[in-house]
Structure 1
């Protein structure tokens, strides 16, 4: 069981978002990350709307207001088709993992996603690059993938759903959302 929540943040910088999200879990032991989030939009008043998936229920704080939260128990079935959305930071390692670079080519980004989603047949229907800036790090290229996947191995897809995909999870990447395709 997990929680899925909609949260309004009063901070725009990705590092400050990361801090505000952590503060939603004041009783978290040993500061273990058990949550993923994705910025959905920024409204006209400057509030950042975030979709949050977590192992424990979030609690509002000064910088982050939980608008709604509900228990979430995804049932993933073999052979089923799901619509998906993922904001990710596709990268590859060069020279035995010592240097990490972002993947900029769209075909390579789709191949990266297919490797990460082993256990499903993936069809990407939309792909959009987004540059994300933070005062604490360099500008990163996030890619918003949308499409359809058919599940071959439910356990593998469930694991990816819980753990997230790729790097920069602290900055809002890696949350895979699934909805049954009709």
Structure 2
């Protein structure tokens, strides 16, 4: 895997999705194997953290600032600081209707269900609504805190596959930094 910092010259989530795809020009028919999260906004230019299975290459709408190989090691009992921007939702009526979770208590409970391979302590939570011209606006929640790994395979899977919905729009990327 690779972890990269990239700049995007677009603010709409659909355009961000398109700009991120443009970083991988040699694979037009492949499935999405990358996750990203907007880290900073500076006017119309955004800085995003990108995790991908192949190395990104700068394009007209996205520039790779730096990129490095990323091989995380996760062991049971390890402690990590984490950051995750997600779109916490739940399905009603057998998966036919999806609603966003709006209270902090519901959102933290959702996160603990999704990271059931770890003991999770949330230390910071921030919510914002995203802009998209292709679909309805969505509430994204950024969680920060500390987790202790109970099941390393489940946590590794969450790290690689992402968490929750709206991954195409910049949600789902779990970042971990080992606590010594």
1:15 to 2:11 alignment: no
Picking from 161, 165, 172, the partner of 2:163 is 165
Q: CA deviation at 1:22?
A: 0.5
Counterpart CA distance in 2 for 1:14 and 1:31 is 21
Counterpart of 2:123 in structure 1 is 125
User: C-alpha deviations, 1:29-71, integer Å up to 9, x for none?
Assistant: 5231000000001125x31000000000001000000000000
Counterpart CA distance in 1 for 2:96 and 2:30 is 27
Q: CA deviation at 1:149?
A: 0.1
User: C-alpha deviations, 1:1-24, integer Å up to 9, x for none?
Assistant: x00000011111111010010111
Counterpart of 2:175 in structure 1 is 177
- Further displaced range: 124-133 or 29-38: 29-38
1:33 to 2:46 alignment: no
Output the TM-score relative to the length of structure 1: 0.97
Show the 5 A alignment for 1:129-168.
129-168=127-166
User: C-alpha deviations, 1:102-133, integer Å up to 9, x for none?
Assistant: 00011111110000001100000000111101
RMSD of aligned Cα (Å):
0.9
Counterpart CA distance in 2 for 1:39 and 1:111 is 24
Q: Which secondary structure does the structure 1 equivalent of 2:25 belong to?
A: coil
Counterpart of 1:78 in structure 2 is 76
Counterpart CA distance in 2 for 1:100 and 1:31 is 27
Structure 1 unaligned segments of length 5 or more: list them. none
Output the TM-score relative to the length of structure 2: 0.98
Counterpart of 1:52 in structure 2 is 50
Structure 2 unaligned segments of length 5 or more: list them. none
Counterpart CA distance in 2 for 1:42 and 1:142 is 15
Q: Which secondary structure does the structure 2 equivalent of 1:30 belong to?
A: coil
Aligned residue pairs total 180
Show the 5 A alignment for 1:39-118.
39-44=38-43, 46-118=44-116
